[in-house]
Amino acid sequence: SSIYEALVVMSQDFKKGLPLIDGHGNFGSIEGDGAAAMRYTEARLQKVSEDVLLADLDKNIVDFVPNFDETEKEPGVLPARIPHLLINGAEGIAVGMSTSIPPHNLGETIDAMKAYMKNPQMTVEELLQIMPGPDFPTGGIIANKKDLPAIYETGAGKIKLRGRIEVELGKRRSDKDKLVITEIPYTMIGAGINKFLMDVADLVESKKLTDVVDISNQSNKDGIRIVLELRKDADIDRIKNILYKKTKLEDTFGVNMLAVADGRPETLGLVPIIRHHVKFQYELATRKYKTLLA
């Protein structure tokens, strides 16, 4: 059952920017519904998993180690052709340490890696020109962009995430203006969406948000759409500020880029992570061609 939970998360495109599993059946929703029991679902690998995480395993490019009861051998590490740690991020806790790495855009991350290979003296600032920051599958806006260089230098810090609010003005006289939330902070996945609706309702009841007449969740499989209907001549900027201040529409994502490097846990900045990955690529290529030559 622990494996099933992990498999479900690996197939959810709202949790992973690059899902590794292709799930068939009910694999849960962004609103926090769980997946169906494992007897009702099927899964296979996504094409990308086979192409970039499992390619060339038969060419002795990584060490195989005994599994838990030493009946079989398994790869000690997968021969990832892409910096998967950065692309899908990572979250986890162990004894006395934890990690939290935000997800990044696939194309940008690979471009940054290629640029680093051409010029290993690149600084964090130069890499951030190519890969401007995290890319959460739920979208959203980063409110403290100026802190990103420091976060990526040290591998730790806090990212302020905001949902994206769009204004839809009523076409006819009788139509009300609407605020529409089309992207949410990554931390709001699951029960957070319902909690947000309740929080807005509470703010309206306690007369803190007097300009909101109605709130409805019109999200569907095409994406998030939470609609707030407004009174005539409502102060839109004030409403936005209250939403960011009093609800989880603005939230922090704690970054702590702890990874196991050369067998020991270490908090790594962006440059060391890319450096380790490039070194790993050289190692994979060398072992592959040695095997083929032999």
- Indicate which residues carry an active-site annotation: 40
CA distance 41 to 26: 7
Helices 270-293 and 106-118, axial angle in degrees (round to 10) = 80
Q: In what order do the strands lie in the sheet with 97-101?
A: 90-94, 97-101, 250-256, 156-162, 141-142
Amino acid 122 reads M
Number of Cβ atoms within 10 Å of the Cβ of 226: 21
Q: Residues near 2 by Cβ (< 8 Å), separated by ≥ 6?
A: none
CB-CB contact of 175 with 214 (8 Å): no
CA distance 159 to 142: 7
Q: What residue has token string 């009910």?
A: 26
CB-CB contact of 199 with 215 (8 Å): no
